[in-house]
Amino acid sequence: MPHKNIQIFDTTLRDGEQTPGVSFTPEMKIDIARQLDRLGVDVIEAGFPISSAGDKASVKDIASLGLDCTVCGLARVIKADIDACIDSDVKMVHTFVSTSDIQREHTIKKTREEVVEMAINAVEYIKGHGLECMFSAMDATRTDTDYLISIARAVEDAGADIINIPDTVGVSSPPTMRMLVSDVYRSVRIPIAVHCHNDFGLAVANSLAAVESGASQIQVTMNSLGERAGNADLSQTVMTLESVYGLETGIKTKYLVETARLIERYSGIQIPPTQPIIGANAFSHESGIHSHGVIKESKTFEPGIMTPEMVGHQRRLVLGKHTGKHAVKKILNDAGLEPSDKELNAILERVKDLGDKGKKVTDVDLYAITEAVMGEVAHTEKRIMLEELSVMTGNRVTSTATVRLTLDGKPYVGAMTGVGPVDAALKAVESLVDGNEMRLKEFRIDAITGGSDALAEVMVGVEDSKGRMVTARAAREDIVMASVEALVNAMNRLSAVPKK
């Protein structure tokens, strides 16, 4: 039977910083330590003090913060390493040595008996200084089980407070981990921790299997940072323990997303949208059936035992080719927009059109489309109707645009040149409505989706002879068309403004 309370040992500042390309500044480490303490982790492995003067200074700074959690330093079974931890004022020393034959023979070049002796000496030295001691048998999952048990018993007799079983190269499977932890658990009296790497994507599963067999502490990192493919992810591990297993971790889960984003910002490694618990898509729904369901009752297409509020997330209705009218209406209504059925259908059509072209439709896209559609539909009696637009560009600066439009029910055609296709098109429109004394005053364009075929949002401001100005927006993949639509929409709006 698993323990009811599972401790969370966070090694983001140590193993997490060993992620290729990641390096935290001392100030970042302080911020991370405080955030992890706020999150409620039991132990923070603040660093490897012997590795550098900077790391030692950071560990000491973190140890001096007066955090509620235990601050730990890492050390090999070497006196100098342990002394560096002691000098850093940590409460716990995590000492380790390779125990698998492959690592023992090719790295430290020691016999099994020498390794046991080194481990015992290190533990006794740590305990002699009145500190908590965790002992790790590095590469435990590739270590002979009988030998692993013998070294575990030896360090227990030497005074170790907890034994850690690392899956250092991530080769274990849940059944194997379950059996190994069970064997060690039955052989010692002190608590067992596990440290699982994610080389085959099994770090969280292996950690949970260890808990099933008696482990009472799990070593994790935020956002699954760590050597190679990383470590067991804190958020996934905690939420599975609490929501699926019904166990307690003491983690204030409402800070999970907040903490994950801090680590994302400081590490420079983006959280994948599909990352469980903390990813942007974790509580997002695009399908019309799913969206309709969660609008009525969130448990229809979400776990129920875990809500976005529990982890500091938000439920989102995502737009795309699978989107239904209920989702679009809900998003717009929440934003204070009340499109008519006609407008809503037009908005939905454009959203689906973008989705069919393989585009991600963001909330910003929707609002831009809505602004454009509601601006068009709002004026049922438009003075200006765009009928056709064609643009010719060459290998020189000058472009030529031809516009055909209807003004007050009469057809007009105009052509102008410009320094580019957008400039030429806007000038062509202005040339046809110049008699109404409206001119382009402001122009701004933003690419609001990625890629060379990005959705462009254009905002224009049009002013009349009395100084009245109206702004309008349009959003399309074609930048020239979006610019002309925005200009025409603004001119129609300005024409509708009562003249005083």
CATH number of the domain to which 232 belongs: 3.20.20.70
31 shares its domain with 11: yes
**H or E element that contains 146:** helix 145-158
Does residue 370 fall inside a structural domain?
Answer: yes
Does residue 255 fall inside a structural domain?
Answer: yes
Does residue 240 fall inside a structural domain?
Answer: yes
**Which two tokens mark 184?**
């060690």
77 shares its domain with 194: yes
Please list, in sequence order, all residues whose beta carbon lies within 8 angstroms of the beta carbon of residue 235, skipping any fewer than 6 positions away.
222, 223, 256, 260, 276, 277, 278, 311
Instruction: Read off the pLDDT of each residue in 338-346 and give the average, rounded to a whole number.
Output: 86
394 shares its domain with 364: no
**pTM score of the predicted model:** 0.69
Does residue 201 fall inside a structural domain?
Answer: yes
Does residue 273 fall inside a structural domain?
Answer: no
Domain that holds residue 101: 7-267
Structurally, how many domains does the chain consist of?
3
51 shares its domain with 149: yes
348 shares its domain with 400: no
386 shares its domain with 429: yes
- Which of 203-212, 289-298, 311-320, 444-453: highest mean pLDDT? 203-212
70 shares its domain with 197: yes
Does residue 1 fall inside a structural domain?
Answer: no
Residue 474 sits in a domain whose CATH number is 3.30.160.270
Please list, in sequence order, all residues whose beta carbon lies within 8 angstroms of the beta carbon of residue 114, skipping any fewer than 6 positions away.
none
Residues 8-39: tens digit of each pLDDT: 999 999 999 999 999 999 999 999 999 999 99
Does residue 237 fall inside a structural domain?
Answer: yes
Report the SS3 class of residue 66. Answer: coil
234 shares its domain with 339: no
Cβ(467)–Cβ(349) below 8 Å: no
Cβ(45)–Cβ(15) below 8 Å: yes
193 shares its domain with 175: yes
CA distances from 497 to 20, 74, 370, 460, 464 (A): 60, 72, 21, 16, 10
342 shares its domain with 193: no
Instruction: Read off the pLDDT of each residue in 475-482 and give the average, rounded to a whole number.
Output: 85
Residue 289 has pLDDT above 90, yes or no: no
Does residue 31 fall inside a structural domain?
Answer: yes
Residue 406 to residue 413: CA distance in whole angstroms: 9
Mean pLDDT over the full length of the chain: 87
Between 483 and 77, the more confident residue is 77
**Which two tokens mark 362?**
């963001």
Residue 333 to residue 127: CA distance in whole angstroms: 63
246 shares its domain with 290: no
Of 344, 361, 376, the domain-final residue: 376
- At 306, the pLDDT band (50, 70, 90 cuts) reads confident
CA distances from 374 to 219, 362, 369, 438, 474 (A): 53, 18, 8, 22, 10
